């Protein structure tokens, strides 16, 4: 789909985008629950996790259009769902009490939430030239 600004969204089928959106909404509700329940360091961890996959896009952007090729590797690395999922799993088994793992777990979950919601909106990994795959 071509946008008026010249940017192109992913060609991911609608049902897949719907599934990403459903996952994103459920994770967002869980994020909010964890932030309200634990507070403290969980709040900045959740904010950092939500912003992390967007940083290469924002840092590399010079206007509408494809992402500059120099920002593509960082963008693709930070937008792989397996990495934040691994963070969540690893920290689930590290602490003795829920308070020990709440911040890093919520960091990973917020990161995964941002990825899921961006995939639902049609923004996924980038090709080497910076355009959507």
Q: Residue 9: its pLDDT value, please?
A: 64
pLDDT in tens, 16-55: 999 999 999 999 999 999 999 998 999 999 999 999 998 9
pLDDT in tens, 66-77: 788 888 999 999
Q: Indicate whether 60 pLDDT > 80.
A: no
Q: Indicate whether 7 pLDDT > 60.
A: no
Q: In the predicted model, what is the mean pLDDT of the chain?
A: 87
Q: 70: which residues sit within 8 A by CB, 6+ positions away?
A: 60
pTM: 0.86
């Amino acid at each position: 789909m071509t946008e008026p600004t010249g940017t192109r969204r992913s060609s991911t089928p609608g049902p897949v985008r719907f599934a990403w959106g459903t996952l994103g909404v459920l994770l967002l509700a869980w994020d909010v629950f964890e932030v309200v329940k634990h507070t403290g360091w969980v709040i900045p961890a959740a904010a950092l996790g939500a912003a992390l996959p967007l940083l290469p896009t924002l840092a590399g952007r010079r206007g509408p259009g494809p992402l500059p090729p120099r920002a593509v590797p960082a963008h693709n690395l930070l937008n792989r769902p397996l990495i934040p999922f691994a963070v969540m799993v690893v920290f689930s088994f590290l602490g003795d009490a829920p308070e020990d793992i709440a911040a890093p777990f919520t960091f990973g979950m917020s990161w995964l939430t941002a990825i899921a919601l961006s995939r639902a909106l049609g923004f996924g990994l980038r090709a080497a030239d910076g355009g959507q795959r």
